[in-house]
Structure 1
Amino acid sequence: MTGGRRNLVLVHGAWHGPWCWELLVPELESRGWAVSAVDLPSTWGEPETGMHDDARAVREHLAAIDGPVTVLAHSYGGLPATEGAGPNTERIIYLAAHLLKEGESLVAPLGGPWFPADAEFAPGAEPLEAYYHDVPADWARKAVGLLRAQSAKAFTEELTRASWRTIPSALIVCDDDRSMPEMFIERAVTERMAAVVRHLPGGHSPFLARPRELAELIDEVTAALPGTSQVSPLWTS
């Protein structure tokens, strides 16, 4: 990943895998990005794995890349991206993703946990409605068939660091998101956890519903964010 190309690492959300980026990757590559994806171990069917294992996978993946990296994290993937961001992480883009503080887990703000720590979660009764209501029907059906069990431990382990405090970060809000609780988005915006906030129409999975628009927005957001060596207050909406 050298020769002047920009490095972008993709971090998927709960129940998903690197397959979810299939339509987005060629759009990004056509814009000059060198793209790679992390496969989070908490979705491998091993209940003992958690968010810190996922963060380790992110950290190791980033360490293998020569040069500065932009990280794009979706949904739950915002947690291991926040925890695992490495010294060469130049920017983080949170795509319909969780921005939390040190000492917080994903379910704590929701009053959890309310399940056994060694449980595994299925993707829910209505994944089409929750994740893919605006995705083309053929891809929506394919995506539902590719979803994997998710370890509950990933939702209960607490962050030890909040990289968005020191790494320039952006939040992309999906305006018809039927999966992400509004409280997380409202809190991130109100407390200005992200330097740049942008909006996309549609639901929780724009990488399948509108990959070209998402790739264009990633370019725009990247240009709006300072590099880590140029951190300064910045807020747009």
Structure 2
Amino acid sequence: MATFVLIHGAGDVGWYWHLVEAELHARGHDAISPDLPCDDDSAGLPEYADAVVGAIGDRTDLIIVAQSFGGFTAPLVCDRVAARLLVLVAPMIPAPAEAPAGYSARTRYEEEARDHYDDAIALFYQDVPPELAAEALKRARAQSEVRMGEPSPLRAWPDVPTRVLICRDDRMFPAAFLRRVAQERLGIIPDEIDGGHTPALSRPHELADRLEAYAAEQGLLAHRPLAAQPDSP
């Protein structure tokens, strides 16, 4: 059985993962999705990592999964816990000591061919059911930028197997951009699924399938109850 530690992105909450979390629980895995202190002006990346490590407690067989800006927190968590695998979904992929505020310039994000959207639904939730997209916006929090200029405490990429999963229809981080950044920064060819930037809401079953397959590759098989046997005649 794996313990999936699900880290949300900027200005968000752990609820983002609730459908995937339910899927993983139903399949016999443990899963947690803590809220990060993203609206707290006094909190930076170290405090985000503190929140995740505190939520993990004494759990083991950890698979750290990070969405979008959660990619800045996830490797810091992996430096502090015995993670079996790190999975980055539609992610930001930080370099050591990189400040979040410098990410766009250093990855040449603005040079990437992409469409521009002023509407949050169109940018983040274009393929999410309308009622879920509305709930996501309702639950969203303002992302503090007070400490975004601080260099990450990350000194080197953690010595943990890493997978990158990108979304072919992502309007925030286009697939071509993420293919390039994953190759440049991690030497990884990403895995791909259909969908936009928020697959935990638009494709929770498919995303859970991918995560469970990654767990199986690490030998972390779910503990499912045996099917009931019919009474003997």
> Are the aligned partners of 1:168 and 1:226 in contact in 2 as well (CA < 8 Å)?
no
Which secondary structure does the structure 2 equivalent of 1:39 belong to? coil
Q: Pick from 112, 125, 135: which aligns with 1:132?
A: 125
Cα distance per residue 1:96-135 (max 9 Å; x no partner): 11111111122313239xxxxxxxxxxx952101110000
What is the TM-score of this pair, normalised by structure 1?
A: 0.79
Which secondary structure does the structure 1 equivalent of 2:172 belong to? coil
Go from structure 1 to structure 2 and tell me whether the alpha carbon gap of 1:196 and 1:8 turns closer, same or farther (over 3 Å shift): farther
Residue 155 of structure 2 is aligned to residue 167 of structure 1: no
> Are the aligned partners of 2:68 and 2:89 in contact in 1 as well (CA < 8 Å)?
yes
> Are the aligned partners of 1:100 and 1:162 in contact in 2 as well (CA < 8 Å)?
no
> Are the aligned partners of 1:15 and 1:147 in contact in 2 as well (CA < 8 Å)?
yes
Distance 1:191 1:71 in 2: 22
Distance 2:43 2:203 in 1: 32
Q: Pick from 24, 32, 36: which aligns with 1:28?
A: 24
Q: Pick from 43, 56, 75: which aligns with 1:82?
A: 75
Higher strand residue share: 1
Compare relative contact order (CA 8 Å, sep 6+) and give the higher one, 1 or 2: 2
Go from structure 1 to structure 2 and tell me whether the alpha carbon gap of 1:127 and 1:65 turns closer, same or farther (over 3 Å shift): farther
Distance 2:147 2:24 in 1: 29
Distance 2:5 2:46 in 1: 18
Structure 1 spans left out of the alignment, 5+ residues = 113-123, 228-237
Q: Pick from 46, 49, 64: which aligns with 2:43?
A: 49
Q: Specify the structure having the higher radius of gyration (Cα).
A: 2
Aligned counterpart, 2:3: 7
Residue 191 of structure 2 is aligned to residue 220 of structure 1: no
Structure 2 spans left out of the alignment, 5+ residues = 107-116, 221-233
Aligned counterpart, 1:148: 141
Which secondary structure does the structure 2 equivalent of 1:151 belong to? coil
Q: Percent identity?
A: 28
Q: Report the Cα offset of residue 36 of structure 1.
A: 0.8
Q: Report the Cα offset of residue 65 of structure 1.
A: 2.6
Q: Report the Cα offset of residue 181 of structure 1.
A: 5.8
Go from structure 1 to structure 2 and tell me whether the alpha carbon gap of 1:130 and 1:159 turns closer, same or farther (over 3 Å shift): same
Distance 1:51 1:33 in 2: 28
What is the one-letter code of the residue matched to 1:41? P
Cα distance per residue 1:158-190 (max 9 Å; x no partner): 222266441111101011111126676134332
- Number of corresponding residues: 209
Aligned CA RMSD, in angstroms, stands at: 2.5
What is the one-letter code of the residue matched to 1:94? L
Q: Pick from 81, 100, 109: which aligns with 2:94?
A: 100
Aligned counterpart, 1:121: none
> Are the aligned partners of 1:177 and 1:202 in contact in 2 as well (CA < 8 Å)?
yes
